[in-house]
């Protein structure tokens, strides 16, 4: 397996985003199927696993923890706090962004218990709570490092300015943000900020939430609980326009001798040795397909063709709803 540096860790060039196994894209697979995917990743040599307190309101960490426990010395385990499920007086659990130090500390303790581990290798602030100075939230993360509960810290969906403020408090090992051919926002400033401070860049949703896998042709079939139903790019009118990008995209994949999903991942790997994609899947077959992208080689001409075809000017619709856009700190075109 090809490897890359992630803060103090050496990890496989492609990691596994575990969210899909418990969260976000409609009814999740059975725990049995989730364990099959995790074991297949381990068998394939994957050493980077990414989860969060939010995913399934703790269910994902509870799924991932016992499977990875026997392999803790061989893998890098990442989780996130500062955004988690909170159960109200009405008994309903809702997503809450809370960057106060006491909330981050509580989130971490809960994650350690669910993950069945004494330490989380890389712990991210899942979202910056804009009512709390970033320095205070990062200060809480640094204390977790000092207590031996966390080895390195990261940030998710933040701007270059916030990265620099955070790094002044404690070294930031990684920044995680959506990045793919159809979401190029990191290229505005965050990638440069990461390289300036020596942080790795972890790309989530690297296959554009399934779009670049050629896996979704009719958005009206999406499950009612699928988060893509709230995303403007997946609104029927926008998606119909975006689908027109797929035939030429698939032609480039055929020319490159790979699948559409592999083309998307290979493009990211070619964008820099500090970029680590973490695709998610519920399928062992798709997992193996994704991992094989590390062996795909793209010519400069192929990369130029891809970037001219799919970019911020050719994709219809924003990546997030207005509400979700208010919750992130990333630069926009």
Active site residues: 55
* Residue ranges making up the domain that contains 213: 3-327
- Answer for the pair 47, 11: CB distance below 8 angstroms, yes or no: yes
Tell me the per-residue pLDDT of 85-131, one tens digit each, with 9 for 90 and over: 999 999 999 999 999 999 999 999 999 999 999 999 999 999 999 99
Q: 198's torsion region: left (phi>0), alpha (psi -120 to 50) or beta?
A: left
Is residue 297 over pLDDT 90? yes
CA-CA distances (angstroms) from residue 324 to 232, 234, 308? 11, 15, 28
Is residue 76 over pLDDT 90? yes
Q: Give the domain CATH number at 201.
A: 3.20.20.100
pTM of this structure = 0.97
Given this model, what pLDDT does residue 229 score?
A: 96
Cα–Cα distance, 174 to 157 (Å, whole number): 11
User: pLDDT band for position 77 (50/70/90)?
Assistant: very high
Tell me the per-residue pLDDT of 20-52, one tens digit each, with 9 for 90 and over: 999 999 999 999 999 999 999 999 999 999 999
Tell me the per-residue pLDDT of 220-277, one tens digit each, with 9 for 90 and over: 999 998 999 999 999 999 999 999 999 999 999 999 999 999 999 999 999 999 999 9
Q: Is residue 333 part of a domain?
A: no
Q: Is residue 332 part of a domain?
A: no
Q: Is residue 260 part of a domain?
A: yes
Cα–Cα distance, 155 to 202 (Å, whole number): 10
Phi, psi (rounded to 5 degrees) for 14: -120, 125
User: pLDDT band for position 1 (50/70/90)?
Assistant: confident
Tell me the per-residue pLDDT of 146-170, one tens digit each, with 9 for 90 and over: 999 999 999 999 999 999 999 999 9
Q: Is residue 39 part of a domain?
A: yes
Structurally, the chain folds into a number of domains equal to: 1
Q: Is residue 276 part of a domain?
A: yes
């Amino acid at each position: 397996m090809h490897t890359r540096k992630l803060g103090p860790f050496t990890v496989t060039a492609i990691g596994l985003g575990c969210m899909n196994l418990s969260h976000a894209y409609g009814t999740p697979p059975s725990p049995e199927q989730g364990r099959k995917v995790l074991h297949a990743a381990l068998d394939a040599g994957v050493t980077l696993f990414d989860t969060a307190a939010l995913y399934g309101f703790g269910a994902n960490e509870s799924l991932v923890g016992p499977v990875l426990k026997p392999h803790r010395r061989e893998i890098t385990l990442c989780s996130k706090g500062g955004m988690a499920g909170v159960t109200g007086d009405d008994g309903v659990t809702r997503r809450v962004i809370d960057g106060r130090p006491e909330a981050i500390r509580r989130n971490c303790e809960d994650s350690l218990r669910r993950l069945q581990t004494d330490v989380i290798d890389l712990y991210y602030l899942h979202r910056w709570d804009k009512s709390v100075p970033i320095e205070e939230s990062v200060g809480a993360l640094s204390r977790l490092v000092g207590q031996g509960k966390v080895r390195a810290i990261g940030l998710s969906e933040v701007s270059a300015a916030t990265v620099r403020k955070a790094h002044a408090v404690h070294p930031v090992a990684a920044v995680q943000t959506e990045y793919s051919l159809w979401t190029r926002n990191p290229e505005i400033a965050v990638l440069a900020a990461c390289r300036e401070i020596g942080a790795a860049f972890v790309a989530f949703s690297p296959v554009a939430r399934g779009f670049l896998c050629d896996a979704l042709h009719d958005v009206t079939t999406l499950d009612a609980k699928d988060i893509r139903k709230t995303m403007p790019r997946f609104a029927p009118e926008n998606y119909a326009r975006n689908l027109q990008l797929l035939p030429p995209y698939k032609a480039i994949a055929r020319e490159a001798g790979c699948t559409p999903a592999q083309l998307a991942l290979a493009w990211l790997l070619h964008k820099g040795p500090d970029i680590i994609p973490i695709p998610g899947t519920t399928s062992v077959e798709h997992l193996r397909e994704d991992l094989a992208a590390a062996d795909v080689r793209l010519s400069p001409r192929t990369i130029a063709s891809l970037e001219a075809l799919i970019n911020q000017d050719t994709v219809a619709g924003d990546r997030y709803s207005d509400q979700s856009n208010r919750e992130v700190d990333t630069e926009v075109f």
